[in-house]
Structure 1
C-alpha cells in the first residue's frame, strides 16, 4: 500500500478558492454532485455507483452527504450518510436519498438567493428544493482544477509510476507471437502491483499494428509491426496518460526516421513551454516540425491536461485557445502514421508546468 492520503489542509485551500468564486459571482451556496468535484473539495473518492452530494456555504462551511457509512477522513464541517444500499443491494433512487439528507441538514440555514451548481448534472429533484437563481459553477471548477496542488501532483505521480511498471513489463514480453490480451493482462497486473490496490481507471490503447484500441481476442504481434501502448491508469481517481511505441522486432529504417522527428517535437516542447505560452501556437509549431517528416502524417491533437478526468485543460488543440499556467499537468503526444510504418507510432510524455519551464514526469525509455 502507498502512503499517499487525503490532505485536509489542501482540500480546505481548494474550498477557499471556491468561496472566492462565490464572492465574485454573489453566490450564497454551491452544491456539487459529481464525484470528481466532491473528491476535489472534500477528499474522499466515491465509486461511480454512488450518488453523494456536498454543499459549500459562502462562509466556508462544507456539508458532505456520503453513501452508506462515514468516510475515515474528510475535509468537511458536517458529514452525514444516506442509505445507498439495502441489504447490499444498490438503490436506484440514490439521488433522492442523498438529497433528502442534504435538505434536512440545510433546513436551519437561510434559503440561498443565488446558488452555484453543475449545469451538466444538476437534477430536477435536487433543484425542486430551492427557489434560488441558479448559476453554472462548473466552468469555474474546471478552471480551478487546472493548477494542481502538491497532494494532487503526488497522486498523479503515483499513477504515472504505474505506467512506468507497465512499460517495463511490456518490453520484457513483446515479441513475435505474443497476443494482445496477454500483454493487456500482464500490464494491468504490473500497475496493480505498483499501486498495491485496484486501479480506479484504465486505458487506453493496447493494439499492435494499429493506431489504437482495446486488445483483440486472438490477435498476435508480428515481426515488423509497431506496438502502440497508450496507457491511462488512474490511482485513487487521478489519471496518468502517456504512451510508448515498441517495435515487435527490430525497427525498420522508415520507423526509426519517423521516431527521430517525434523526438524533435519533444525537444521543441521542452524548450518552449512555460507559463504564458499559448497552447494553440505550440500545436501549430509542433505540427510544422512533424510535417517535415518524409514519412507519416500527424492528424490528431498534440495533448491535453490530466487530473481527475483523462482530458482536462490546457488543450493542445487548435479548437481551443488555452495558455499554460504554472502548476498544470499536461500531456504531449506527437504521432506519425502511414502504411509503410505498419500503421504508425505515437509517443506521449506527461509534464508539469514550473515557474520557468516544464518538468517531465515520465522519465521512461523512449526508444522503439
Structure 2
C-alpha cells in the first residue's frame, strides 16, 4: 500500500501540477508525516511534499518526519507562497473542519494575492476521512501494540480491586501501569465506575469505593506512537445476583452476535441493530448510545456502528463493538472490543477475557 501522502495525492492531484493540498490541522499533519507538533503546514504538490516548521521543531522534524521534505520558516505565509509559485500551483485544497473563519480569510488573502485559488469546501476533509477509515497493515500493527498494553493493564489491575478501594485509585493505577510499560499516555480520560456509578456510561472516576457485590466497569485505552486503543471490561467483586448475571450475559450475547455477523458489505446501522435488538428485548431503553466507533489516529474516528450511519463496512476498518445495559441508580455493564474488518468477517484486536470475572 502506498504511503498516506501518495494516496491523498493520487486522489486529489492526479498529476495536475497546478493543484496542491494544504493540511493545516495538527492531527492530520501527524497522520501524514508521523511528526507531532502544535504548529506548521503540510503542503503536497504533484511531485513533492513539504512540512513547514518553525525553529522549535525544524531540527527534530528533519530527523523523524516521513513522506516529506522539512522546510523551516520565519514567516509561514511567505515561505508557503514561495513554494506554491515554485511549483506553478494555481489551486489549493484546504481542510476546513479545523479551520477558523479568521484563518480561512488569512489564507484567501495571502494566497489570493498571488493569484492562487483557495478551495474552502469539504473536498479535502472528505478525502482524508475516506482514507483514514481504511487502516494500512502498518496502522493495524500500531493499534495492536497499543491494545497489548491495554490488555496487560487489565490483567494487572484485577488484584487491586478490593473492598474499599476508590474508582480514582484504580484509574490512577491503570494509567501508571500503561505509562510505565511504554504508552505515551492514555487514549482518553479513563472510566472506572463501581456499583451505582456504573449506570452512567461516561462516569468520571471519583472517591466512590468498591463494595461487595458491585459491578466495576473499566473503559480504558493506551496511546502509543500516535495510535489509540479502546477496551471496556466489567467485572464483579464477589458473587453477583441472578439478575446481575442475566444482564451481563445479555450484553455478552449482543457483543458476540456482532463479532459473528459483521463482514464487508454490511451497513453500519444494520450492525448496530444486531446488538440493539438483543438488548431491547429484555431491557428496553437501557442501551442509549451507539454500538461503536472507529478507532485509530484519534480515539473517535469513522465510521460508527450507530442507527444513523449508513457507511458500508470495508476491509481494513477498525471499529469498536461496545453494547451496554445501564440501569439508573443500580449498576451498568459494558463489554467492548476493537474489531478489524477482514476480507470475510472480522477479527478482534482485543485479547482480554470476556466471561464474567467474580473476584
Residue 281 in structure 1 maps to residue 270 in structure 2: yes
Counting only pairs closer than 5 Å after superposition, residues 148-163 of structure 1 correspond to structure 2 as 148-163=135-150
Contact 1:170 1:183 in 2 (8 A): yes
Residue 199 in structure 1 maps to residue 185 in structure 2: yes
How big is the shift at 1:294?
5.8
Counterparts of 1:25 and 1:333, CA distance in 2? 43
Residue 363 in structure 1 maps to residue 351 in structure 2: yes
| Aligned partner of 2:258 among 261, 269, 290 | 269
Greater helix content: 2
Scaled by the length of structure 1, the TM-score of the pair is: 0.85
Contact 1:175 1:249 in 2 (8 A): no
Counting only pairs closer than 5 Å after superposition, residues 76-155 of structure 1 correspond to structure 2 as 76-82=67-73, 97-112=75-90, 114-122=91-99, 123=103, 124-131=105-112, 132-134=117-119, 135-136=121-122, 137-155=124-142
How big is the shift at 1:81?
3.0
Contact 1:330 1:352 in 2 (8 A): yes
Alpha-carbon distance change, 290 to 77 in structure 1, aligned in 2, over 3 angstroms: closer
For these two proteins, the number of residue pairs brought into alignment is 337
Residue 325 in structure 1 maps to residue 302 in structure 2: no
Which residue is equivalent to 1:214?
204
Alpha-carbon distance change, 286 to 201 in structure 1, aligned in 2, over 3 angstroms: closer
Contact 1:165 1:194 in 2 (8 A): no
Which residue is equivalent to 1:6?
none
Unmatched segments (≥5 aa) in structure 2: none
Superposition RMSD in Å: 2.3
| Aligned partner of 1:33 among 4, 24, 38 | 24
Counterparts of 2:73 and 2:179, CA distance in 1? 31
| Aligned partner of 1:188 among 175, 180, 189 | 175
Deviates further, 63-72 or 345-354:
63-72
Contact 2:219 2:230 in 1 (8 A): yes
Contact 2:303 2:311 in 1 (8 A): yes
Which residue is equivalent to 2:302?
313
Per-residue CA distance 1:219-261 (angstroms, 9 max, x = gap): 2112222111111332122111110012132222111111111
The list of structure 1 runs, each at least 4 consecutive aligned residues, that deviate by more than 6 angstroms after superposition, is: 24-27
Unmatched segments (≥5 aa) in structure 1: 1-9, 84-96
| Aligned partner of 1:245 among 234, 255, 265 | 234
How big is the shift at 1:343?
2.1
Scaled by the length of structure 2, the TM-score of the pair is: 0.87
